[in-house]
Amino acid sequence: MTSSTETMGGDGREPRQALPLQTQLMWDRLLSIVEEQAQVLMRTAFSPVVREAGDLSAGVFDVRGRMLAQAVTGTPGHVNAMAESVAKFLAVVPADDLEAGDALLTNDPWDGTGHLNDFTVVSPVFHNGELVALFASTSHIADVGGRGFGPDANDLFEEGMRIPIGYLFRAGAINAELMRLLLANVRDPTAAQGDLYSLAACNDAGARALVSMLGEFGQRNLEDLGDVIIERSRAAMVDCIRQVPNGVYSMTMLTDGYDEAVRLECTLTVADTRMTLDYAGSSAASDRGVNVPLPYTRAYSSFGIRCVVGGDIPNNAGSLSCIEVTAPEGCIVNALPPAPVSARHAIGQLLPDVVLGALGQALPDAVPAEGASTIWNPVLRGLGQDDFVINPIFNGGTGGRPGQHGLAATAFPSGVRTTPTEINEATSPLVIWKKAYRQDSGGDGEFRGGDGQDIEITHREGRAFVISTMFDRMRFAARGRFGGGDGAAGVLQVITGQSDTGLEEATDLPGKGRHVVPEGGRLVLRTPGGGGLGSP
């Protein structure tokens, strides 16, 4: 019980007062329920990026829309954005209007998790006729129409179908008109339909397990347990923030952007029991799809703090309430509709590095160096009759860490796994000829940055194919910290043959946009390395 009690509310220094036995058992059971919810989603999803890479989130909420617990499986961008989205669902469909068998749905970037490809489903749970909780889940659906997943759109309307908060199921019956409309506008209707059913199924699995738990423990609802979870988590987070010196700390980062550099500027204010992050001074919104809606900015910014402050405290409405994130309307990290946002991760996943840079001024012995951070997730598709589309995940290196070297080819901060080569080759006519560590791409330092990867891809029959790219760290590499060296920048090339001198003819491609790999061409990706920490 000791470790569970410390996880429930400790700050990593002193165990907090033990919970009553039944409360602790219910808390542990709740964690197992949301993890099973996430596993059901992975086992039933049609899209490989969900099934194989874990690009999802799952959690349980009280009837007021407060997140009580989240599954460990999933990404911070999904989980923390979903944490504030359930209250938006209840503002549209009040709790009193819900009934058994309902399931609500949206992919609105500002009500969900930041872009149209992410669908969030919220399902009510009833016990003895009373609404006792809500389960929510999010997963990435490969295609939503429009231009397809990529950064090239000029506004949201070009990026695909935007579905406002409404019913997916009502009293157990599918919203047939919505489903017909959606399936008529996507390139892979079977996968889209299957993924929506998987979201509803995982919520149903969580609901059944929760009702069983309430019955076993003789509880009418989750109100008392929810209040304990949220208050203890909030109090534990306050204790941790009090260990950080009060002050104002700033950090600036330049990122690649779409066709011109983007400035990210963050000011962290620590004041006794709260931390506030403000992005005033950041670049204005782009006319391309690299913009970030504020919920996604909040998600990764708060995660950056939680990596160092209160990392062992449950991530829920209580602990998140101690962190405030603001940004001027219309800037690139608070883009307003109908700004294009499809590739919002390309900038959003760099925000923890910005936050850690500011936090490192207050806690210099606790933060890592910058890493590759943004996942390299190309969309590879066929041309003409060669109809296929895959969205593999590749990763660069993390920054050197206090007391340890950085990790090679690791997804931080997203946490999504690399899609297995066998899956990519089985679901497309592409061959991945090489996938190896990119030697010495991590920055030098007392603790070296992690290495990226070298990947080479061709079409099995030598045909041309298309790549849509949303890559970063190609012009502005991960910076070392406290005397450490910078990581290697990313590289994207197409090799089309050999020159008269016998050398390969390689053409460099920009990190964002749509490109054609010609017949017989070989696509080369070299993911970025992480920065070094401390003087070599």
Written as one string, the DSSP assignment of 373-389 is -S-B--EEEE-TT---E
**pLDDT tens figures, 457-474:** 999 999 999 999 999 999
* Residues 6 or more apart in contact with residue 195 via CB below 8 angstroms: 45, 46, 47, 50, 119, 139, 141
CA-based max dimension of the chain: 80
Selection from 347, 420, 407 nearest residue 49 by Cα: 420
The predicted pLDDT at position 131 comes to 98
Asked if residue 520 lies in contact with residue 461, where contact means CB atoms within 8 angstroms, the answer is no
Q: Kindly state the tokens that stand for 203.
A: 């919520």
Strand bridging mode 274-278 / 323-326: parallel
Selection from 332, 328, 339, 199 nearest residue 257 by Cα: 332
3-state secondary structure of 119: strand
Q: Kindly state the tokens that stand for 349.
A: 């996943």
Q: Which helix (DSSP H) or strand (DSSP E) does residue 250 occupy?
A: strand 247-255
In this structure, which amino acid lies at residue 159?
Answer: E
In this structure, which amino acid lies at residue 459?
Answer: H
Q: Kindly state the tokens that stand for 16.
A: 């907090």
Phi/psi for 82 (5° steps) reads -65, -30
Residue 19 DSSP code: P
The predicted pLDDT at position 9 comes to 44
Asked if residue 501 lies in contact with residue 404, where contact means CB atoms within 8 angstroms, the answer is no
Ranges of residues in the chain with a pLDDT under 70 are 1-18, 498-503
The predicted pLDDT at position 11 comes to 39
- Angle, CA 128 vertex, CA 125 and CA 129 arms, to 5°: 70
Residues pairing with 166 in the sheet: 105
CA 409, 410, 416, 422 torsion: positive or negative?
Answer: positive
User: Do you know the residue count of the chain?
Assistant: 536
As a whole number of angstroms, the distance between CA 4 and CA 74 comes to 21
3-class DSSP string for 434-452: EEEEECCCCCCCCECCCCE
**pLDDT tens figures, 9-38:** 443 344 455 678 999 999 999 999 999 999
The predicted pLDDT at position 435 comes to 96
The predicted pLDDT at position 17 comes to 59
Strand bridging mode 452-459 / 430-438: antiparallel
Asked if residue 489 lies in contact with residue 477, where contact means CB atoms within 8 angstroms, the answer is yes
Residue keyed to tokens 């993924």: 195
Helices 176-183 and 189-216, interaxial angle, to 10°?
140
The predicted pLDDT at position 18 comes to 61
Phi/psi for 288 (5° steps) reads -125, 170
Selection from 280, 359, 345 nearest residue 76 by Cα: 345
Phi/psi for 26 (5° steps) reads -65, -40
As a whole number of angstroms, the distance between CA 463 and CA 147 comes to 22
Asked if residue 5 lies in contact with residue 19, where contact means CB atoms within 8 angstroms, the answer is yes
Q: How many CA atoms lie within 13 A of 72 on its CB side?
A: 5
The predicted pLDDT at position 419 comes to 86
